[in-house]
Amino acid sequence: MSDTATGAPPGHSSDGELPPAQLAAKYGLTQSGARPTLPGYVRQLWDRRHFILAFSQAKLTAQYSQAKLGQLWQVATPLLNAAVYFMIFGIILGARDGVPGGKHNYVPFLVIGVFIFTFTQQSVMTGVRSITGNLGLVRALHFPRASLPISFSLQQLQQLLFSMIVLLVILLGFQEWPTWRWFLVLPALALQFVFNIGLAMMFARMGSKTPDLAQLMPFVLRTLMYASGVMFPLHAMLTKNTSAPTWVADVLQANPVSVYMDLMRFSLIGDYSIHDIAPHAWWLALGWALLFGVLGFVYFWKAEERYGRG
């Protein structure tokens, strides 16, 4: 190195003998496709925020563009689901009885449950496919790959916001009048959104390595649906109608999906009191969001340079 400093003849003749690594170092070239640092990664993502938003909106628009009813399906699908559950669980299996405040709250209870569960469910399902389903994009353009799972979760959030309009109509129809407590919807949704992003990023990395997960996830998610009390009051059902020990009901009630669902019901249904949902529900909601948000992000970032291979 010192002979460069003491005046080796200028020109590329001396460069030709340098090994590639040293030549690269000399001219400040960096390794292509190397993983950025964690703060650097966050900065890159922030720079791409407009792309993330535009991509999620584009996906949302493109989703039903071939259907005649178009965007209407965004809310029709969860509503039809709710109608099926109402028949089976509400009427035939009698799940209406344990709902806080009585039978007349069952429809809002059910619709909130279905909407909130769909939000997490779809974030996971699109998350699993977010890398494998967009390999063309990953292999053609340079962008922080976390943009994809985040974008898909954002798409689901926008979809949920559409559904909230329908929910509002249903609430008013069942004589739930707006109160100040309705504003609690905002922190509850924000926390669930962070939780969903973390989960989506986790599954995005796993799905990129094992595409078979996309086939397996519907079953895992259906189990989660029954274990979270989407269409029946979980705690009441388990403690009154079955011989399951109380701690099982307590544990199930503390699972993240159940917590976010109960917080929404608590915020929107007047008959709900804080005792009807899991103890320390807000702290649980915050904890789940932080845990999954941070873990999911770091886990996804660790494999950043490997997405798109194979």
Partner 1 sequence: MAVAEQGAIEDSKPAGEKIPTVICDDLHIVYRVFGGGGRGSATAALNRIIKRQPSPRMREVHAVRGVSFTAYRGEAIGLIGTNGSGKSTLLKAVAGLLPPEKGKVYTDGQPSLLGVNAALMNDLTGERNVILGGLAMGMSKEQVRERYQGIVDFSGINEKGDFITLPMRTYSSGMAARLRFSIAAAKDHDVLMIDEALATGDKKFQKRSEARIRELRKEAGTVFLVSHNNKSIRDTCDRVLWLEKGELVMDGPTDEVLKAYEKETGK
What are the residues binding partner 1 (CB under 8 A)? 1, 4-5, 7-8, 10-12, 15, 20-21, 23-24, 26-34, 47-48, 50-51, 54-55, 58-59, 61-62, 65-66, 134, 136-143, 211, 305-306, 308-310
Shortest distance (Å) from residue 22 CB to partner 1? 10
Q: Name the packing angle between helices 281-302 and 38-47 (round to 10°).
A: 100
Shortest distance (Å) from residue 42 CB to partner 1? 16
What is the spatial distance between Cα 208 and Cα 136, in angstroms, rounded to a whole number? Answer: 13
Whichever of 48 and 265 has its CB closer to partner 1, that residue is 48
Give the tokens for residue 193.
């959104």
Give the tokens for residue 26.
């000399």
Shortest distance (Å) from residue 306 CB to partner 1? 6
Shortest distance (Å) from residue 218 CB to partner 1? 18
Shortest distance (Å) from residue 142 CB to partner 1? 6
**First-to-last C-alpha distance (Å) of the chain:** 40
Shortest distance (Å) from residue 4 CB to partner 1? 5
What is the spatial distance between Cα 216 and Cα 286, in angstroms, rounded to a whole number? Answer: 28
- At residue 266, φ and ψ (nearest 5 deg) are -60, -40
Shortest distance (Å) from residue 73 CB to partner 1? 14
What is the spatial distance between Cα 83 and Cα 166, in angstroms, rounded to a whole number? Answer: 14
Whichever of 56 and 105 has its CB closer to partner 1, that residue is 56
Neighbours of 48 (CB within 10 A): 18
In the chain, what's the furthest Cα-to-Cα distance?
91
Q: How many residues does the chain have?
A: 310
Whichever of 105 and 151 has its CB closer to partner 1, that residue is 151
Whichever of 33 and 102 has its CB closer to partner 1, that residue is 33
Whichever of 8 and 161 has its CB closer to partner 1, that residue is 8
Whichever of 60 and 83 has its CB closer to partner 1, that residue is 60
| Residues 307 and 211: beta-carbon distance below 8 Å | no
Amino acid at 125: M
Neighbours of 210 (CB within 10 A): 12
Indicate the burial class of 193 (C-beta count within 10 angstroms; 0-12, 13-18, 19 or more): buried
Whichever of 53 and 93 has its CB closer to partner 1, that residue is 53
